[in-house]
Structures are given as structure tokens and as C-alpha cells.
């Protein structure tokens, strides 16, 4: 009597039986095995993406916290009473009320950090006290700052307007600045030689005859206050 196919398979040796997954020994993975592997890969991809999102959120929160702490620190710090541009003196002219303003530029501790810290510009008082304008190239030759030499606590320089009447070494101007930590303020001081005395320079007045090409300078008055034990006003007239 012939055995059925089912009975024949039962009688087969274990090494030749078909596994439950339907794949014989030596064959590739079954469909169920592939689907299971794909599910595992998908779960792993989702975990990786979720980890990336968490890291991105953490970095963003850390950056926002750092920005917040920086802004809070700046708000809590006392605002110093200094200006990066300190007024030194002015040049006035007979032509009109406009002035050439000279300034010394310092940092927040009143320290000179530039090789050319002194600058000049127009203060157009004929328009308004707040209106300013840069010097032109030709005006720099007459009123510009030259030969700036920076030292530890100050800067020395020359003015083009004085170059025509006196050797540079005799009309050297020195600007210094003092820092007061109790008030966080900067106090500038500018000195030169006026009428043979060391004096604090306050202003320079230029009397000139206006012409089409170039004004003819009649004289220049250098005005200041002596720095002697008893300060007194001092003026020197420089003529061509």
C-alpha cells in the first residue's frame, strides 16, 4: 500500500524536512523573515531620526539660553558715563560761525587703541549745533591732523593750519585722557605751548580774507589757560 505524501514527509529524516517557514536547508530567507528584518530597520531609522531631532532641540535650547544670559549680563552691567569720541578743542574762523571740531577716540576704559586717534570734522553751527560734515581733501590740508604719535597715555600731533607759521616741533599738541573708575568717566586734556607757556588749548581763531581760490590768512590766535600753579588765560597771535 502506497503511503500518502503527508505520511512520506512525516517519515523523512529531519535534515530533509521543510521548515515551518517553507525554506529548505541552504535556501535564502523566507518572506516572513524579510518582513521582520524590514520592520527592525524601519524602527531603527525612526530611532535615529528621533535622536537627531532631540539633539537639534537640545542644541537650540542651549544656544537660546546662552544668548539670554549674555543679554541679561549686559542689562545688569552699569552703563559707563564715557563717550568714544571726546571733544578736545575747536578752530573758529572769521568767515562764519562754523567750527572745526577735534576729537580724541578711546575705548570704554579711556585707552587709546588706534594709531590715529585724533580726528577733525565740521560742526556747521550756521545750520544748527548738531549738524556735522566731513572735511574735504583740500580742507584736510589746512585743518587736518598730521604726524600723530601715540604714547602709553596720550597722543601728540600737529595741525596743518599752524604748519605755515611755526616749525612743527615748536607747535606740537599733546592730548591725554584720564579715567575715573568711581564715575566711569573719561576726562580729556590737550596741551600746547602758547606764548612760551605750557597751556591747556581751548580754541584757535583764524582771521582771513576770503578769496576765490584760497583765503589769505591775516593771523591766527591760539587761546588757552596756563597750567601753572595759578592758571591764567593766555593768548598768542601768530602772523605770517
The pLDDT tens digits for 29-38 are 555 665 665 5
**Residue-level pLDDT at 45:** 56
Query: Has this prediction a pTM greater than 0.75?
Result: no
**Residue-level pLDDT at 65:** 67
User: Which of 77, 160, 58, 168 has its CA nearest to residue 118?
Assistant: 160
Summarize pLDDT for 49-68 with one digit per residue, the tens.
Answer: 565 666 565 566 666 666 65
Using the structure block, give the residue that is written with the C-alpha cell 599752524.
Answer: 162
**Residue-level pLDDT at 30:** 58
Task: Give the Cβ contact number of residue 109 at 10 Å.
Answer: 13
**Residue-level pLDDT at 58:** 57
Cα→Cα distances 153→13, 57, 104, 190, Å: 103, 50, 12, 12
**Residue-level pLDDT at 193:** 93
**Residue-level pLDDT at 164:** 64
* Rounded CA separation 60/83 (Å): 36
User: Which of 201, 203, 209, 202 has its CA nearest to residue 240?
Assistant: 209
User: Which of 74, 225, 58, 88 has its CA nearest to residue 156?
Assistant: 88
Q: What residues in the chain have per-residue pLDDT under 70?
A: 1-83, 163-170
Beta bridge partners of 92: 99, 205
Amino acid at each position: 500500500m502506497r503511503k500518502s505524501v503527508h505520511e512520506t514527509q512525516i517519515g523523512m529524516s529531519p535534515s530533509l524536512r521543510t521548515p515551518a517557514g517553507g525554506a529548505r536547508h541552504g535556501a535564502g530567507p523566507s518572506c516572513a523573515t524579510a518582513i521582520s528584518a524590514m520592520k527592525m530597520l524601519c524602527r531603527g531609522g525612526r530611532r535615529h531620526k528621533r535622536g537627531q531631532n532631540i539633539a537639534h532641540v537640545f542644541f537650540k535650547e542651549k544656544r537660546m539660553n546662552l544668548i539670554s544670559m549674555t543679554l541679561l549680563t549686559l542689562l545688569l552691567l552699569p552703563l559707563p558715563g564715557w563717550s568714544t569720541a571726546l571733544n578736545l578743542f575747536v578752530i573758529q574762523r572769521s568767515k562764519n560761525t562754523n567750527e572745526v571740531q577735534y576729537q580724541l577716540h578711546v575705548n570704554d576704559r579711556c585707552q587709546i587703541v588706534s594709531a590715529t586717534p585724533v580726528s577733525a570734522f565740521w560742526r556747521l553751527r550756521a545750520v544748527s549745533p548738531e549738524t556735522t560734515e566731513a572735511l574735504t581733501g583740500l580742507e584736510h590740508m589746512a585743518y587736518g591732523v598730521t604726524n600723530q604719535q601715540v604714547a602709553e597715555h596720550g597722543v601728540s600731533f600737529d595741525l596743518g593750519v599752524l604748519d605755515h607759521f611755526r616749525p612743527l616741533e615748536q607747535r606740537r599738541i599733546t592730548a591725554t585722557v584720564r579715567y575715573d573708575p568711581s564715575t566711569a568717566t573719561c576726562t580729556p586734556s590737550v596741551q600746547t605751548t602758547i606764548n612760551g607757556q605750557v597751556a591747556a588749548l581751548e580754541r584757535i581763531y583764524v582771521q582771513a580774507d576770503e578769496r576765490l581760490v584760497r583765503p589769505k590768512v591775516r593771523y591766527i590766535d591760539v587761546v588757552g589757560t596756563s597750567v601753572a600753579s595759578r592758571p591764567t588765560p593766555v593768548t598768542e597771535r601768530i602772523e605770517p
